[in-house]
């Protein structure tokens, strides 16, 4: 019987811990942590994500402010808002929702965020800190995955981790976290990508297999070692036979379930943890622990 890793339950735990910490801050007479979200354009998925993030904040006592700019906004306008928030003491965390319209250079915008308010952990200063093992903001999805492994007591030390996907927001930072010489981590990590030859020969050796690709059911039972732990980061929208849409992961859940020792579902796995870790990062920003 495989273990179903319940991301919803863990996320609720993280949220209640953050809520408690926010209450402590308020009891000390300090202001509630503040997260400012910038949404540029009208991408429907981004709209939903930003709304969820703001709702999550409300639930735990974090004050969130959403500012919207049109699709036609210039890079200068976006950076000007970020700069205002960088200087504003009421703003602890800054999040610019990605993707940005194509006339805006994403890297330049991310680099304009004060690294001490960079709750997404995408600024090169925080990326660098992660690489050399200094305290800093860790991107929410990789942090959420590691938190899942920790809370389920899944051993990582000396284990062979294979990550499929090398994006800056998931695959690469996750590899850095799990390779570092502390727990949860101390793993031997391989990163696979679209140019990997014979993907199966790598994934089949994984004690912990993490899929972060964005390709529905790329991973099937032939890719998985018996008894492996499988973490499915992928979120893929698909059309059901009745014409409605559903969400599914990069892993063919039904196909691998009997073979693995533990697995995350989609939805209800990594997604809720990503959202919860944003709250944790905002709390860290407000606490000033990285200054």
Burial string for 106-124 (b: 16+ CB within 10 Å, else e) reads beebbbbbbbbbbbbbbbe
**Applying CB under 6 A, does 34 fall inside the site for ligand NAP?**
no
Given a contact cutoff of 8 angstroms between Cβ atoms, the answer to whether 38 and 65 are in contact is no
Instruction: Name the catalytic one among 56, 92, 118, 120.
Output: 120
3-state secondary structure of 67: strand
Instruction: Name the catalytic one among 53, 117, 159, 280.
Output: 53
Q: Report DSSP letters for 80-100, one per residue.
A: HHHHHHHH-TT--EEEEPSSP
Write the DSSP symbol of residue 289: T
Stretch in the footprint of ligand NAP (CB under 6 A) among 9-17, 21-29, 76-84, 214-222 = 214-222
**Applying CB under 6 A, does 166 fall inside the site for ligand NAP?**
yes
Residue 45 CA to residue 50 CA, distance in Å, equals 9
**Applying CB under 6 A, does 39 fall inside the site for ligand NAP?**
no
Stretch in the footprint of ligand NAP (CB under 6 A) among 12-20, 59-67, 212-220, 237-245 = 212-220
3-state secondary structure of 202: helix
Binding mask 184-203 for ligand NAP (x = CB under 6 A): --------xxxxx--x----
Binding mask 271-290 for ligand NAP (x = CB under 6 A): x--x----------------
Active site residues: 53, 97, 120
Q: Can you give the binding site for ligand NAP, defined by CB under 6 A?
A: 141, 164-167, 169-171, 192-196, 199, 212-215, 218, 233-236, 270-271, 274
């Amino acid at each position: 019987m495989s273990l179903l890793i319940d991301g919803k339950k863990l996320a609720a735990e993280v949220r209640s811990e953050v809520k408690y910490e926010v209450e402590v801050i308020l009891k000390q007479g300090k202001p509630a942590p503040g997260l400012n979200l910038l949404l540029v354009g009208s991408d429907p998925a981004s709209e939903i994500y930003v709304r969820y993030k703001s709702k999550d904040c409300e639930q735990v006592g974090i004050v969130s402010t959403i500012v919207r700019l049109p699709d036609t906004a210039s890079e200068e306008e976006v950076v000007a808002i970020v700069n205002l928030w960088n200087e504003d003491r009421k703003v602890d965390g800054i999040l610019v929702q990605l993707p940005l319209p194509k006339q805006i250079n994403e890297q330049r915008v991310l680099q304009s965020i004060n690294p001490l308010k960079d709750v997404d952990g995408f600024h090169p200063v925080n990326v660098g800190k992660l690489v050399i093992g200094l305290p800093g903001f860790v991107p929410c999805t990789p942090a959420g995955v590691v938190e899942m492994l920790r809370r389920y007591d899944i051993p990582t030390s000396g284990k062979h981790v294979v990550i499929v996907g090398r994006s800056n927001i998931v695959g690469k930072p996750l590899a850095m976290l799990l390779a570092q010489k502390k727990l949860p981590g101390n793993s031997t990590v391989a990163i696979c990508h679209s140019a990997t030859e014979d993907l199966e020969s790598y994934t089949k050796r994984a004690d912990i297999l993490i899929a972060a690709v964005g390709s529905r059911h790329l991973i099937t039972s032939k890719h998985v070692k018996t008894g492996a732990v499988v973490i499915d980061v992928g979120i893929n929208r698909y059309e059901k036979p009745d014409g409605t849409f559903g969400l599914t992961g990069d892993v063919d859940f039904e196909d691998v379930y009997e073979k693995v020792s533990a697995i995350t579902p989609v939805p209800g796995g990594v997604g809720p943890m990503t959202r919860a870790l944003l709250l944790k990062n905002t709390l860290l920003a407000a606490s000033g622990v990285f200054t």
